[in-house]
Amino acid sequence: MLNVTKIREDFPILKRKVNGHDLVYFDSGATSQRPEIVIETIDRYYRETNANINRGVYEMSVESTQLVEESRKRVADFVGGRAEEIIFTRNTTESINLVAYAWGEDNIHEGEAILISKLEHHSNMIPWQELCRRKGAELRVIDMSEKGELVEEKEAVISEEKGLKLVVGGMKNLLDEKVKMIAITGQSNVLGTEVNVEEMVKLAKKHAPKALVLVDGAQMVPHMKVNVQSLGIDFLAFSGHKMLGPTGVGVLWGRKEILEKMRPFLFGGDMIGEVKLSGATWASLPNKFEAGTPDIAGIIGLGAAVDYLEKVGMEEIHEYEKELTTYALEKMKLLEDEGLIQMYGAEIKNKGGAIAFNITGVHAHDTAQILDSFGIAVRSGQHCAAPLVMNFGVPAMVRATFYLYNTREEVDYFVEKIKDVQKVFV
């Protein structure tokens, strides 16, 4: 069991007031808060070590390089990969774009297909839409049920919009030899739907043997134990800022054999082998994909975040968040039964810590603003997943997302204040 009281003491921001109330931070899906140790690690780096990496022979530069490489090793161990397979990017979005360009440009051809789902965040949708458009490839989209889960079997519907061939249907109806890439979220950022990635990889091996599998782990890696080997995937993208780390650092893990065959994404310093006026050769992994000075302090801070998460325990975090979500869903169901709110995806079988809802007759932005006046931070809008939100026939939703530092008392307060939002409008 997590000692949440003790955990909360590690997060200085949780002591602040918002509009005169204790902060209730229910927006960790957008970005998490950081524990003291992460803030301290970054602060100490700038005070004591700051120097550029990979190039200096002097002590501070060597120390900086070592700290970055130690972080790389920690991140690799955290997801079950090898250090040279960890590429530091800015965020999940950049990690996915890296694959869409550096792998996609050479490996996707006219008539082939890329498979995504309706659950995707725009970051795992638009890079593939654009790649398909450039290449004359099909974008296949696994449909979503009314509950908010992936549909296994449903006849495919083909359409063509702005030069893009779109095929929407059930997962099993979309897998065949034409599929070269399956890019799927590990967990929906709006509904919390946990996708059974292992099962998908098994199906892909059988029905789409040429496909690589990329997992958008932005909402998965921060909340559960992930092992790239046991999942059997080829790429994993995630963001440090959603897992207690600083903003500005993302990760792409890729299988070594695949990364080695890929062309670079960005060109310039640090990613080269030999350079002549007429051209250059590329550095070995991971430097080939890390052009220019990275967010050194951020990478080191991410290492501290990973240590913190491991000390608490990913299994414990996952279990705790599920319990808290079940508790919140039970309380909110009572409000739904009274007609006060509508929830979306409340009956998803495997659901992580995200609850999407609307208050009857109140726009999502108004709800979020009124909740803010009570010190509660929730997100409202389309959550960078417009097709998913639109699938429920609403223009916007309110979303509460939980992490290891949230409590039942906060949920109780939140549910009470939802009732007060209604009162403002009657």
Ligand X SMILES: Cc1ncc(COP(=O)(O)O)c(C=O)c1O
- Residues annotated as catalytic (active site), given as ranges: 384
User: Tokens representing 300?
Assistant: 């080191």
Q: C-beta of 154: minimal distance to ligand X in Å?
A: 23
Give whichever of 283 and 309 is closer to ligand X, judged by the CB atom. Answer: 309
Q: C-beta of 4: minimal distance to ligand X in Å?
A: 23
Give whichever of 129 and 422 is closer to ligand X, judged by the CB atom. Answer: 129
Give whichever of 218 and 312 is closer to ligand X, judged by the CB atom. Answer: 218
Residue ranges in contact with ligand X by CB under 6 A = 30, 91-93, 121, 123-124, 185, 189, 216, 218-219, 239, 384
Q: C-beta of 262: minimal distance to ligand X in Å?
A: 20
HEC string of the chain equals CCCHHHHHHCCHHHHCEECCEECEECECCCCCCCCHHHHHHHHHHHHHCCCCCCCCCCHHHHHHHHHHHHHHHHHHHHHCCCHHHEEEECCHHHHHHHHHHHCHHHHCCCCCEEEEECCCCHHHCHHHHHHHHHHCCEEEEECECCCCCECCCCCCEEEEECCEEEEEECHHHHCCCCEEEEEEECECCCCCEECCHHHHHHHHHHHCCCCEEEEECCCCCCCCCCCHHHHCCCEEEEEHHHCCCCCCCEEEEECHHHHHHCCCCCCCCCCEEEEECCEEEECCCCHHHCCCCCCHHHHHHHHHHHHHHHHHCHHHHHHHHHHHHHHHHHHHHHHHHCCCEEEECCCCCCECCEEEEEECCCCHHHHHHHHHHCCEECEEECCCCHHHHHHCCCCCEEEEECCCCCCHHHHHHHHHHHHHHHHHHC
Residue 195 burial class via C-beta count within 10 angstroms: exposed 0-12, middle 13-18, buried 19 and up: buried
Q: C-beta of 7: minimal distance to ligand X in Å?
A: 22
Q: C-beta of 241: minimal distance to ligand X in Å?
A: 6
CB 190 within 8 A of CB 219: no
Give whichever of 96 and 362 is closer to ligand X, judged by the CB atom. Answer: 96
Give whichever of 64 and 187 is closer to ligand X, judged by the CB atom. Answer: 187
Who contacts 323 (Cβ-Cβ below 8 Å, separation ≥6)? none
Give whichever of 41 and 91 is closer to ligand X, judged by the CB atom. Answer: 91
Give whichever of 33 and 185 is closer to ligand X, judged by the CB atom. Answer: 185
Q: C-beta of 10: minimal distance to ligand X in Å?
A: 22
Q: C-beta of 45: minimal distance to ligand X in Å?
A: 22
